[in-house]
Chain A
Amino acid sequence: VCTSRFWFNYRHVANTLSVYRSVKRLGIPDSHIVLMLADDMACNPRNPKPATVFSHKNMELNVYGDDVEVDYRSYEVTVENFLRVLTGRIPPSTPRSKRLLSDDRSNILIYMTGHGGNGFLKFQDSEEITNVELADAFEQMWQKRRYNELLFIIDTCQGASMYERFYSPNIMALASSQVGEDSLSHQPDLGIGVHLMDRYTFYVLEFLEEIHPASQTNMNDLFQVCPKSLCVSTPGHRTDLFQRDPQNVLITDFFGSVRKVEITTETISLDPDLADFERKHPKDELATEPLKYAEQLPVAHIIHQKPKQKDWHPPGGFILGLWALIIMVFFKTYGIKHMKHIF
């Protein structure tokens, strides 16, 4: 999830797209990735190299490419949509690619980047998500067993405050900076004119470049990424809710996708002659009528549908009480004879 928009937040989009690329390289297909981006970088009029988003100066790596699948773009990246994806309370018309169809054997990786503060994360410069809401959303997921294990990585200022309130089991969290510290960006590119990446994500990506689908590197190595000398801020992590020892958790458990397989040793025996005898299935000749556009709701009807009449409710008790108090005090203080001046 990239929670920022506007040109000067280029680095957040580059962060998110780089992590997206790594995760795809290690085997997770697009059908299993929900990518939320404001997506206003590549085609921004201020972008000197249109249709590209670079993550390294000297324009070495274009992370936008031509097979990026953004599921929630632009104004769809809101706190409400994010929480809907997590908890599953999605309107029925949402397509499959915008849903999180996980079950109790799924390991989920959540990477968020943007601008944050102590206990909140700013979404698109207009709203915020608090750490309490996030913790509640994870608890809702746990109640419905929508995850087996969850890895939460956040790269914002004061990122550690976002994982302070988690209370559901099997969650491991990493943040780029502690409460009170700012996460800094890595390097500007003079050609493009903005900072291209954040430091923490840059070093995490360097670390991930060495991981391949069969590698055995574990989480303790990920915790060592980006020490204070390189990152200026102090990365933090939280593993008390996690049941397994981080030493035994492979990076590919979250960043890649290694399936459990079993060799099929049983077969059943089918009798083709028997099948032929039993299954004289006549083909269903359903005369399907071709759908005609004219039979749908006429356009005039759609456009001019009146809005539903909202029922009028009398004002509530609080407002009535307040006004009664004001009026009573006014007349008591100034005397009833002033009424004729008002009415």
Chain B
Amino acid sequence: ASAQFQLAVPVAVVFAPESVPGDLPRPLPFRDVQEMEIPVNLRTTVTTRYETIYRSTTAQEEAALGAATAREADAALHPLQDTSLGSLTMYVVPETSSLLPQGISVYVGKHRSALVRAGGGLAALRARLQQLTQVMSFTVSSITAALSDRVPDGQLGPDARRHLKSSLGYEITFSLLNPDPKSHAVDWDIEDAVNRYVQPVLDKLSLVANFSVDSQILYYAVLGVTPRFDKESSSFLLSAHSLPHVINPVEARLGSSAASLYPVLNFLLYVPERSHSPLYIQDKDGAPVSTNAFHSPRWGGIMVYNVEAPASPQASLPLHVEVDMVRVMEVFLAQLRLLFGLSREELPPEFLLESPGNEGLADWELDRLLWAHTVENIATVSTTLTSLAQLLDKIGNIVIKDDVASEVYRAVASAQSAVAELAVGHLHSAFQASKEAVTSSERAFFDPSLLHLLYFPDDQKFAIYIPLFLPMAVPILLSLAKIVRETRQRKKEPTKVD
């Protein structure tokens, strides 16, 4: 189905005193609109509009920018800026300003703003702005990945289908795997850890979807792969190419078939057996991985938690192990971010990103997710409704119930409103509308009453109806012929009177 998306991003560029470049086309404040087209395929195009306002700082903003460090400035500027979802504010500070450390030209804060070092005139500033919007809102590849259904396979990059698909809810399961309960009695305070560390992140993500969390402990659950003993480090190693085979034997025991219909994200903490401790994961170059963890796209992550050998060999087994939940949750939450596609690794060197702290993700990262999910939702609705229409055209005798029809109407209305909101730059309402549209269209498409068991080959139709109607039709047709003959005869002899 053809679709035209217009994504409007409201951007504000605020110049601190002494940072205004000399070659501005007009005096401040002024507006500017930059449009760019991203062709996705023959029938889908995405146009991005950056509606930029260039202005100078207000007195309050100047005071905020006088802070000692970039972090404090960011915190002070937060209440003064436009906090609607999807908007960006870029503060340009003088070249000599001490807010940004040496060698850093751009500092991206926790919310929706960034501090940029001035210098180089308007063209350089525009280039910086371009880079910044790529980082903080969306890139060509993130939009193309969201529309991956429509892009021919050859054009998709390697991470096109890595990230979790947009869904109304996700179920997160934390599992502790203890293959050797005789040696280790492992205790993890998962409930406390979930309340303290996981819940703030999920609260921040609650705008995107509903999350539910469970946890379980599995005993005698082994990895499917035997690790190698490495004499030099006197530890056991799992090489990178044996990792793909680790997940399957465990998956059968995870009980994911009892969970809800939402996609399930599994986070496993594996405490190796006494005889295989310590266990380290090797990356492709043979170096041990610092996090001792790996993840599988759209599935979840596994972390290996090594327990130190007891001080004395006569220590009584089982050893009591209290898991350090902070270390574990740091890795699991990082894996959760990666599963959603929020990576901080591919950035230009002169960028400095503020750590989001316990919230897990910055506001602009939430925006990135929302842009991608909104576009994906609208594209899905369009494809679903078009294929539903094609199905109903093809098989004429499917009955469409009233509630299916009303779901379709609702889906169309919501999708149209989502597209309209996107074109204006209201990301929040666009996302909500797109969620409603997806819910309605999925309900309409997957309605159980639309099953088409109605294909009859032509020869079957003849074989059924002819023996039924032909014998009955013979006397009728003969009588009709007789009537016609009589009428014709009467017409021919009107004057014959006896």
Contacts and interface: CB of A to CB of B under 8 A. Distances in A.
Chain B associates with chain A: yes
Interface stretch (B119-127, B430-438, B444-452): B444-452
A31 B257 contact: yes
A130 B289 contact: no
Nearest to B260: A96
Interface in A254-292: 257-272, 274-276, 278-279, 281
Contact of B247 (A104, A259, A276, A332): A259
Given A87-B451, A329-B480, A268 B296 contact: no
Contacts of A27: 224, 245, 248-249
B177 to A, nearest CB: 15
A140 B243 contact: no
Contacts of A329: 476, 479-480, 483
Nearest to B242: A214
Given A259-B244, A329-B476, A101 B261 contact: yes
Interface in B124-151: 148-149
Contacts of B480: 329
Given A29-B252, A269-B355, A83 B451 contact: yes
A104 B149 contact: yes
Interface in B459-497: 476, 479-480, 482-483
Contact of B457 (A130, A136, A144, A278): A130
A268 B360 contact: yes
Interface residues of B, number: 78
Contact of A268 (B257, B330, B451): B330
Nearest to A84: B451
A143 B345 CA distance: 35
B384 interface: yes
B296 A270 contact: no
B472 to A, nearest CB: 8
Contacts of B447: 89
B333 to A, nearest CB: 6
B200 interface: yes
A79 B451 CA distance: 11
A96 B483 contact: no
B231 interface: no
B173 interface: no
Nearest to A140: B391
A29 B258 contact: no
B26 interface: no
Contacts of A96: 257-259, 261
Query: Which interface residue of A27, A214, A267 has the most chain B CB atoms within 10 A?
Result: A267
Given A87-B451, A133-B455, A261-B247, A279 B200 contact: yes
Contacts of A91: 448
B197 interface: yes
A206 B403 CA distance: 52
A261 B281 CA distance: 12
B358 A261 contact: no
A258 B244 contact: yes
Contact of A267 (B334, B384, B448): B334
Interface in A71-111: 79-80, 83-84, 87-91, 95-97, 99, 101, 103-105
B196 interface: yes
B483 A265 contact: no
Contacts of A270: 197, 326, 329-330, 333, 358
B258 A103 contact: no
A299 interface: no
A278 B196 CA distance: 8
Interface in A298-321: none
Contacts of B195: 279, 281
Most chain A CB within a 10 A radius of its CB, from B244, B335, B338: B244
B333 A268 contact: yes
Interface of A: 27-31, 79-80, 83-84, 87-91, 95-97, 99, 101, 103-105, 119, 130, 132-133, 136, 140, 143-145, 213-214, 243, 257-272, 274-276, 278-279, 281, 325-326, 329-330, 332-333
19 contacts: A30-B257, A87-B451, A89-B446, A89-B451, A90-B446, A259-B244, A259-B247, A261-B247, A262-B338, A266-B337, A266-B345, A268-B355, A269-B355, A271-B357, A275-B197, A275-B358, A278-B200, A279-B196, A279-B200
